[in-house]
Structure 1
């Protein structure tokens, strides 16, 4: 029997490092204390597009058991043209696949947005058992409003190679980025960043395409200057960990919830966790004990 309760954190390290816009791994036995893999050197780099890969999201295909990483095609090391790259940036995702979490295909550029889109940022995906497809979503500015506001768009795919035309998924009065989704019981819970007040907000949906209902969360409202939410359930427990990136200060930190539907989160003291070195926007999945050991022992 494969024992679960182990975790893999896939992330990038940020543009201030020459190697930071690459993929890094860390592993954990409890979802809170993390150990760097490969001596905190990249396990995967991009040699196509902008030659940078950011905001990695990892997902396992329930039909094939293959793992896929999707990421933002963006390189900002020694650059400061944030406005420009939202208007004339990459309209493609970076895609890499693996059968064993150890050996990854070279990232491929897959165009998902048409002309008029200025960027494709922070992609994530959710498998929809109703349609047997993946819903892939990301943030973009478009020429529709002269690139004034980030909205979240989505497309469907069976194989992360062929995508449907993008549709609008989230539009607010403010720019919205960094959307992440988790399913629990009969609802989806969606977390996104409000780019105006720099806070993360929560919503609940019956289906991926249904109208969301806000989830009131005083703990999230109290936190500003955060982004890159990623959430995962602790295996065998009715507890969820929400990681937020305090991007201008201390970096990623965890909040713990015993009641996801009510949006109840508690920030943990620093003594209760240990984050990976240089961790920026990324995602966490549950892995088996065997996968945990193989990743720790592998020479990337």
Structure 2
């Protein structure tokens, strides 16, 4: 409990301090801009407890917001690979993996404060695509140009459109996506990226010069590393093949935050049971900064995003009140 008091006091103090970057939340007055925090979704294995959240003031040192914030009720009763993006109206949208295999949908819920959530709904992203074996790791991206969300996810579809090797285990993964403006109506699923081999965990970044970067995992067993591709539009086409790897083996679940002029790419080093990071300014040259960042033990497959300080302070207060 002493730790919670110190976390809360620190959050209230730091909310008055100007951080590396600030943003105007939709509900704030133009004369009183509110400081943003870095937040990250998380879960702990075996992924049956629910959504966890981390926060940071600098994108480098991360701490847990105690407790779980949404218990899984869909599919196989798991909540893996949670991804959150905030819409133009201030609503936080959450999607997640609901089953390892045998389910062709993903989970969805929304919130204004990350504490109180809407009813969970299953989005049937691949229900009408024959021979779909699994759907994993949905990632949200808001396309400001078209005013719509992209939900990018990994799927195994054992059909004749595969350009790479398949086997009886169905391990040829590709990246698909659907679009939506309201999380009620969705486009038909479309293929975002076929690497020619098993490729998972796609994450889209919009750069300042107007192009887009796709960070993804080369899922071939001998590689299991992260690479990038580029496009002029969020929906592609992205350059093929993927770049040379910028991580070692056994890295997955990438997400990206911009800290000043530098992009931090965070990822799960799952064989080492730690979280790692690399920095870049151009997505061509990368520096491994794993020894410079810190994440709570047990953090898995998080997606980073930004939120006003008042949201984080509210979460810390709620955690203290519930004694988590």
TM-score normalised per structure 1: 0.85
Q: Secondary structure at the match of 1:264?
A: coil
1:42 aligns to what?
A: 68
Can you list the C-alpha shifts for 1:215-244, whole angstroms capped at 9, x where unaligned?
Answer: 9876x445111000011112xx10111101
The structure 2 residue matched to 1:189, chosen from 184, 199, 213, is 213
2:196 aligns to what?
A: 173
Within 5 Å, give how 1:79-158 maps onto structure 2: 85=101, 89-113=102-126, 114=128, 115-145=130-160, 147-158=170-181
Can you list the C-alpha shifts for 1:70-124, whole angstroms capped at 9, x where unaligned?
Answer: 001126xxxxxxxxx2xxx211110010012221124221211124211111011
- Quote how far apart the aligned CAs of 1:6 are: 1.4
2:10 aligns to what?
A: none
Q: Secondary structure at the match of 1:119?
A: strand
Give the distance between the partners of 1:262 and 1:181, measured in 2 at CA: 12
- Quote how far apart the aligned CAs of 1:139 are: 0.8
Native 8 Å contact 2:192 2:236 kept in 1: no
Give the distance between the partners of 1:140 and 1:217, measured in 2 at CA: 21
Give the distance between the partners of 2:288 and 2:268, measured in 1 at CA: 13
TM-score normalised per structure 2: 0.79
Q: Which runs of 5+ in 2 are unaligned?
A: 1-31, 161-165
The structure 2 residue matched to 1:30, chosen from 31, 41, 58, is 58
Greater strand content: 1
1:289 aligns to what?
A: 309
Give the distance between the partners of 1:288 and 1:103, measured in 2 at CA: 16
Q: Secondary structure at the match of 2:303?
A: strand
Are 2:32 and 1:12 aligned? no
Q: Which runs of 5+ in 1 are unaligned?
A: 76-84
1:74 aligns to what?
A: 99
Are 2:275 and 1:256 aligned? no
- Quote how far apart the aligned CAs of 1:148 are: 4.5
The structure 2 residue matched to 1:265, chosen from 278, 283, 286, is 286
- Quote how far apart the aligned CAs of 1:5 are: 4.2
The number of residues matched between the two structures is 276
- Quote how far apart the aligned CAs of 1:18 are: 5.7
Give the distance between the partners of 1:216 and 1:111, measured in 2 at CA: 29
Give the distance between the partners of 2:185 and 2:205, measured in 1 at CA: 24
Native 8 Å contact 1:217 1:265 kept in 2: no
Label 1:192 to 1:268 Cα distance change in 2 as closer, same or farther (>3 A): same
Label 1:47 to 1:256 Cα distance change in 2 as closer, same or farther (>3 A): same
Give the CA RMSD over aligned residues: 2.1
- Quote how far apart the aligned CAs of 1:262 are: 4.2
Give the distance between the partners of 1:269 and 1:73, measured in 2 at CA: 30
- Quote how far apart the aligned CAs of 1:264 are: 2.1
Native 8 Å contact 2:139 2:202 kept in 1: yes
Give the distance between the partners of 2:57 and 2:113, measured in 1 at CA: 19
